[in-house]
Structure 1
Amino acid sequence: MPNAHDFTFSKLNEPGEIKLSDYAGKAVLVVNVASACGLTPQYRELEALYEAKAPKGLVVLGVPCNDFGGQEAGTEKDIRTFCDNSYHVTFPMTGKVDIIPSAKRHPFYKWIADELGESALPRWNFHKYLVGKDGELAEAFSSKAAPFEPAVLEAIHRALAA
Structure 2
Amino acid sequence: MKLSFQNLQEKNMSFEEVFFHIAAFMKLDPKGNYRLMVGTDSQVHRTYTLFITGIVIQQERHGVWACIRKTVVPRRMDHLHERISLELSLTEEIVALFTEEKKNELIDIILPYLYEGASFTMEGHIDIGAGRRNKTSNFVNEMVARMESMGVEPKIKPDAFVASCYANRYTK
Question: Would the TM-score normalized by the shorter structure come out above 0.5?
Answer: no
TM (norm. structure 2) is 0.32
Looking at secondary structure, tell me which structure has more strand per residue: 2
Larger helix share, 1 or 2: 2
TM-score (ref. length: structure 1) = 0.34
